[in-house]
Amino acid sequence: MADKKQEFVTHITPRNEDFSQWYTDVITQTGLCDYAPVRGCMILRPYGYAIWERIQAEMDARFKEVGTENVYFPMLIPESLLLKEAEHVEGFAPEVAWVTQGGTEKLQERLAVRPTSETIFCTMFAKWLQTWRDLPMKYNQWCSVMRWEKATRPFLRTSEFLWQEGHTIHATEEEAQEETLTMLDVYRQVAEDVMALPVYVGRKSDKEKFAGARATYSMEAMMQDGKALQAGTSHNFGTNFSEAFNIQFQNKDGRLEYAYETSWGTSTRLIGAIIMTHGDERGLRLPPRIAPIQAVILPIAAHKPGVNEACQKLEQELKAAGFRVKLDDRDTVSAGFKFNDWELKGVPVRLEVGPRDLENGVVTVFRRDTCEKSTMPLENLAGSLQELLDDIQKGLYEQAKSFRDTHTQIVHNMDELGQAVETGFAKAMWCGERACEDEIKEKFNASSRNMPFDQEGETFGDTCVCCGRKAKHVMYFAKAY
Amino acid sequence: MADKKQEFVTHITPRNEDFSQWYTDVITQTGLCDYAPVRGCMILRPYGYAIWERIQAEMDARFKEVGTENVYFPMLIPESLLLKEAEHVEGFAPEVAWVTQGGTEKLQERLAVRPTSETIFCTMFAKWLQTWRDLPMKYNQWCSVMRWEKATRPFLRTSEFLWQEGHTIHATEEEAQEETLTMLDVYRQVAEDVMALPVYVGRKSDKEKFAGARATYSMEAMMQDGKALQAGTSHNFGTNFSEAFNIQFQNKDGRLEYAYETSWGTSTRLIGAIIMTHGDERGLRLPPRIAPIQAVILPIAAHKPGVNEACQKLEQELKAAGFRVKLDDRDTVSAGFKFNDWELKGVPVRLEVGPRDLENGVVTVFRRDTCEKSTMPLENLAGSLQELLDDIQKGLYEQAKSFRDTHTQIVHNMDELGQAVETGFAKAMWCGERACEDEIKEKFNASSRNMPFDQEGETFGDTCVCCGRKAKHVMYFAKAY
């Protein structure tokens, strides 16, 4: 019975039939993750974690390039610290998991499993910061956070999830704003250049900003069901937290000043974004720059002389050339099973090597993005493979961008807005009032996403899409994950 | 006042005066870590975390080479899972931190903040494992764990600490034993070859083994105060957990069998081991292969023409050659302050570049291990630097090994044992009975560390050091962290 199972290609629900079920089918059948025996939590299995490692490597190198240093702060935060900044505690308290017992001892004060770490970073910044010479401090940590969510979905919303959180303090408001936007741009680069996710970047409304921030910026990606996924945020706190935590420094004139602060974060949500942006009826399609395995080598008629040796040689050559390749020489499953398995897992390129290929001095090449087959000369395969991977990377980005652009509509009234958010994003003029956001939310279950930076070049009217009063901003609205 | 502070070289307590205070002085003054506003927890500051990142990189590459895959499991474990294996729960329950409240909801079942993850891995192994084809599964995760400790010391024993935990299942007892010893050897390699920590590897006594293991193996390092530090452990569980969690597979003959399991772990303790093995009166001395900064470049008389340019060029050249170098071009502190600062931080090599050096086509070189100064030609500096770093790496290892060897004494009776553990390790014949371990603990506050693998070649008597009855094993005893 177990033998049978391995040969059976499991069914994936078509996307247009039930996108949500398609998503669930893909993540479970690819072995990216599994449901944990703890409410609302998931387990990142090897293939899913390998994608996260790739995201970490790409992000982390860029963080360090702009002068960020990694640190590690405790996962438990005393309740009294969480209470110090009023907006912040109001935003997070309802979803905190509390430690109340340590060993045999009932704790005097409850400890929050960190939902985010601003308050504990601020406590230490206040201790460490003395003079202007100590600034800026630009720290980041890779860790997990816990938010006691009611409704959860793997990668998109789970009680515990992996993320990175950057926390920085600066001598001036300008510098803090520059940091906020620099990190947003780092996120955009990784999203667009590495994960092939086209994103809209811009500022969130006051309603949607982070609890305690003066301004929140986000990047918003569009999933294939037309819904928005907030894929990264960067916050400028001004001196909100500095005042609550007394983070002061002696400036060059010897006077005490409050430091200006930022924070910024991305999470395993990005894996959800990759799946829902690029996946198709056969499963995942991973962009080559984020794929844990860029090419899988399959021996065909492996018992024939020379086939296995040629495959091993090819694997060594491509690894030496810096590619992430895997030779699948399992003899416990059929070639057909392997084809399906690696297509499901979204490996960008499959290289088939059989006796006839070897006779002709070629490999048979299957590209996962278009599902096209061709052949390539074995000679200088590394060069041709790099070109092919670049082409796939570019193609996936352009396909996603084309989808996003054709599913973004400029709208002038509520009817148009309501229609637009059924299939994608609505780009509208907005008065800036929360009442209009609330009305749009109530009528269409759509929320404001963000406001493009170049508002001048983007305007297309002067009345609010909802109330008809004078418009102040261009705003994207969408249903959202 | 803050100006003054930066120029003041802070005092480090001499090691022979108070080793414990020396340790505290070093870790706080180097900025490796700080005490957190949460009981028993610490914060890894940038320099300390950078060392951890180096350890992670060296370990992780070796884990992957032997076929381990990384995963991530939830930090919360339902109490009912912890209770499934009797010895295990007895070992860990007293030091568990419990989550009892999630958001506004009081939980029906308490959730443990993981003290270790055997129970939740086992739950999933039981779900994932079907047939012999699925074996082995070799997983590892990098995460933090929580143990509600009464007495804590940074890096050595804290309520929360960073570690990696490997969990593997296998088809046969032999394969599980091989895995257990392979991973112990990976640890030994990283300890000796990368961190320059000579270690004794061997099997723990039943008293000292992991709660739930059939056999625990460890590597034991000797600190400069002669105390032992258990620097890594590898456990063979046999089918203990498999039976408790019903982890079964269909073997090649179609019959159900229990899987054989191992786990293995190392933690930020290793940073404590590096400090206490190599440090001296001036502070840290980091082995080049683990040092986040291998060489610091200091401009001397930076205002003189050509000095800054030469330093920048040197930095670029050495970075391009793959060295981890830092140019310290701060103009807010004196050269003398910088000398002390980088010596305190244990950077293996300081390269001073001044006008006279440039005239002579050399750099002035300070090596931190011996505190000797010399010069090196600027031409082909990368080559000479590599040789120097290799020499420092070797020298630190040999110095530590010589210290360890001269502080390890073969003992034949309790008096000798009592004297030996005042300054180092006692190597004794032992009957294998817990009563003798207990007596040694009570009399000398020393515990059994581990038994060398090659017992045949190591024996030097046939009576137990404590009870005088027939000896079965060679055992190291020591006071321990």
Write out pLDDT tens, residues A14-38.
999 999 999 999 999 999 999 999 9
**Residue B332 is nearest to which of A94, A103, A133, comparing CB atoms?**
A133
3-state secondary structure of B33: strand
Inter-chain CB proximity A144 and B143 less than 8 Å? yes
Q: Express as a percent the part of chain B with pLDDT over 90.
A: 91
Inter-chain CB proximity A98 and B97 less than 8 Å? no
CATH number, domain at A362?
3.40.50.800
- Domain final residue, candidates A278, A307, A332: A278
Is it the case that residue A94 has pLDDT exceeding 90? no
Residue in B closest to A70 by C-alpha: B46
Same domain, B169 and B42: yes
**A-contacting residues in B 38-67 (Cβ below 8 Å):** 38-39, 41-46, 49-50, 52-53
Contacts of A44 in chain B (CB under 8 A): 71-73
**Is B285 inside any structural domain?**
no
Inter-chain CB proximity A139 and B46 less than 8 Å? yes
**Residue A38 is nearest to which of B3, B38, B78, comparing CB atoms?**
B78
Output the CA angle B63-B68-B70, nearest 5 degrees.
95
State the pLDDT confidence band at A9, using cuts at 50, 70 and 90.
Answer: low
**C-alpha dihedral over A334, A338, A344, A349, to 10 degrees?**
-150
Average pLDDT of every residue of chain A: 95
Same domain, A421 and A472: yes
Inter-chain CB proximity A53 and B70 less than 8 Å? yes
Write out pLDDT tens, residues B306-335.
999 999 999 999 999 999 999 999 998 999
CATH number, domain at A171?
3.30.930.10
Same domain, A322 and A469: no
Write out pLDDT tens, residues A179-237.
999 999 999 999 999 999 999 999 999 999 998 999 999 999 999 999 999 999 999 99
Same domain, A316 and A214: no
Is it the case that residue B196 has pLDDT exceeding 80? yes
Q: Into how many domains does chain A fold?
A: 3
Of residues B78 and A150, which shows the higher confidence score?
A: B78
Q: Which amino acid is at B24?
A: T
State the pLDDT confidence band at A4, using cuts at 50, 70 and 90.
Answer: very low
**Is B9 inside any structural domain?**
no
Same domain, B338 and B412: no
Predicted confidence at residue B1, as pLDDT, reads 35
Inter-chain CB proximity B110 and A98 less than 8 Å? no
Same domain, B305 and B164: no
- Most B CBs within 10 A among A1, A60, A73, hence the mutation to make, goes to A73
Write out pLDDT tens, residues B180-194.
999 999 999 999 999
Helix residue ranges per DSSP H, B155-302: 173-189, 240-245, 269-278
- Whether chain B has a CB inside 8 Å of the CB on A26: the answer is no
Same domain, A192 and A142: yes
Inter-chain CB proximity A43 and B133 less than 8 Å? no
**A-contacting residues in B 366-425 (Cβ below 8 Å):** none
Predicted confidence at residue B457, as pLDDT, reads 80
**A-contacting residues in B 330-369 (Cβ below 8 Å):** 332
- Most A CBs within 10 A among B52, B81, B98, hence the mutation to make, goes to B98
**Residue A162 is nearest to which of B49, B50, B72, comparing CB atoms?**
B72
Centre a 10 Å sphere on the Cβ of residue B6 and count the other Cβ atoms it contains: 16
- Most B CBs within 10 A among A55, A71, A249, hence the mutation to make, goes to A71
What distance in Å separates the CA atoms of residue B365 and residue B351, rounded to the nearest whole number? Answer: 5
Residue in A closest to B124 by C-alpha: A36
How near does any CA of chain A get to the CA of B75, in Å? Answer: 8
Predicted confidence at residue B314, as pLDDT, reads 97
- ipTM here: 0.96
- Most A CBs within 10 A among B43, B90, B255, hence the mutation to make, goes to B43
- Domain final residue, candidates B386, B419, B447: B386
Write out pLDDT tens, residues B130-156.
999 999 999 999 999 999 988 899 999
**Is A56 inside any structural domain?**
yes
- Whether chain B has a CB inside 8 Å of the CB on A100: the answer is yes
**Is A11 inside any structural domain?**
no
State the pLDDT confidence band at B49, using cuts at 50, 70 and 90.
Answer: very high
**Is B13 inside any structural domain?**
no
Contacts of A159 in chain B (CB under 8 A): 102
- Whether chain B has a CB inside 8 Å of the CB on A99: the answer is yes
How near does any CA of chain B get to the CA of A459, in Å? Answer: 42
Of residues B91 and A292, which shows the higher confidence score?
A: A292
Contacts of B146 in chain A (CB under 8 A): 75-76
pTM of this structure: 0.96
Same domain, B29 and B143: yes
Q: Which amino acid is at B181?
A: L
**Is B272 inside any structural domain?**
yes
Write out pLDDT tens, residues B358-413.
999 999 999 999 999 999 999 999 999 999 999 999 999 999 999 999 999 999 99
CB-CB contact of A97 with A113 (8 Å): yes
Closest CA to A49 of B63, B259, B162, B81: B63
Inter-chain CB proximity A127 and B45 less than 8 Å? no
Is it the case that residue B74 has pLDDT exceeding 60? yes
Strand pairing of A160-170 and A137-146? antiparallel
Closest CA to A60 of B122, A52, B351: A52
Inter-chain CB proximity A43 and B72 less than 8 Å? yes
CB-CB contact of B147 with B77 (8 Å): no
Inter-chain CB proximity A110 and B101 less than 8 Å? yes
Place of tokens 């112990």: B184
- Whether chain B has a CB inside 8 Å of the CB on A122: the answer is no
Contacts of B133 in chain A (CB under 8 A): 2, 6, 332
Cβ within 8 Å of residue A391, ≥6 positions away: none
Predicted confidence at residue A8, as pLDDT, reads 45
Closest CA to B195 of B57, B86, B94, B101: B57
Write out pLDDT tens, residues A119-176.
999 999 999 999 999 999 999 999 999 999 888 999 999 999 999 999 999 999 999 9
Inter-chain CB proximity A2 and B130 less than 8 Å? yes
Centre a 10 Å sphere on the Cβ of residue B272 and count the other Cβ atoms it contains: 23
Residue in A closest to B57 by C-alpha: A57
- Most B CBs within 10 A among A39, A69, A137, A332, hence the mutation to make, goes to A39
One DSSP character per residue, B344-394 reads HTT-SEEEEE-HHHHHHTEEEEEETTTTEEEEEESTTHHHHHHHHHHHHHH
B435: part of which helix (H) or strand (E)? helix B434-444
Length of chain B: 481
Place of tokens 């890779």: A142
Inter-chain CB proximity A98 and B98 less than 8 Å? no
Same domain, B205 and B302: no
- Domain final residue, candidates B250, B278, B306: B278
Q: Express as a percent the part of chain A with pLDDT over 70.
A: 98
Residue in B closest to A73 by C-alpha: B43
CATH number, domain at B471?
3.30.110.30
B419: part of which helix (H) or strand (E)? helix B414-423
Same domain, B54 and B103: yes
Same domain, A26 and A135: yes
Inter-chain CB proximity A36 and B72 less than 8 Å? no
Contacts of B128 in chain A (CB under 8 A): 34
Write out pLDDT tens, residues A365-422.
999 999 999 999 999 999 999 999 999 999 999 999 999 999 999 999 999 999 999 9
3-state secondary structure of B471: coil
State the pLDDT confidence band at B344, using cuts at 50, 70 and 90.
Answer: very high
Contacts of B98 in chain A (CB under 8 A): 99-102
**Is B3 inside any structural domain?**
no
Omega prior to A287 cis, within 30 of 0: no
**B-contacting residues in A 258-317 (Cβ below 8 Å):** none
Write out pLDDT tens, residues B85-141.
888 888 888 899 999 999 988 999 999 999 999 999 999 999 999 999 999 999 999
Mean pLDDT of A318-332: 96
State the pLDDT confidence band at B5, using cuts at 50, 70 and 90.
Answer: very low
**Is B287 inside any structural domain?**
no
Closest CA to A358 of A304, A296, A406, A430: A304
Predicted confidence at residue A451, as pLDDT, reads 97
Inter-chain CB proximity A46 and B75 less than 8 Å? no
Average pLDDT of every residue of chain B: 95
- Most B CBs within 10 A among A4, A43, A124, A130, hence the mutation to make, goes to A43
CB-CB contact of B476 with B450 (8 Å): yes
Same domain, B215 and B319: no
**C-alpha dihedral over A144, A150, A151, A153, to 10 degrees?**
20
Tokens of B322: 């793959």
CB-CB contact of B66 with B186 (8 Å): yes
**Range(s) of the domain holding residue A343:** 295-387
How near does any CA of chain A get to the CA of B271, in Å? Answer: 14
State the pLDDT confidence band at A427, using cuts at 50, 70 and 90.
Answer: very high
Cβ within 8 Å of residue B1, ≥6 positions away: none
State the pLDDT confidence band at B459, using cuts at 50, 70 and 90.
Answer: confident
State the pLDDT confidence band at B213, using cuts at 50, 70 and 90.
Answer: very high
What distance in Å separates the CA atoms of residue A309 and residue A299, rounded to the nearest whole number? Answer: 9
List Cα–Cα distances, A354 to A296, A318, A325, A340, B323, in angstroms.
Answer: 14, 18, 18, 18, 44
Write out pLDDT tens, residues A430-475.
999 999 999 999 999 999 999 999 887 888 899 999 999 999 999 9
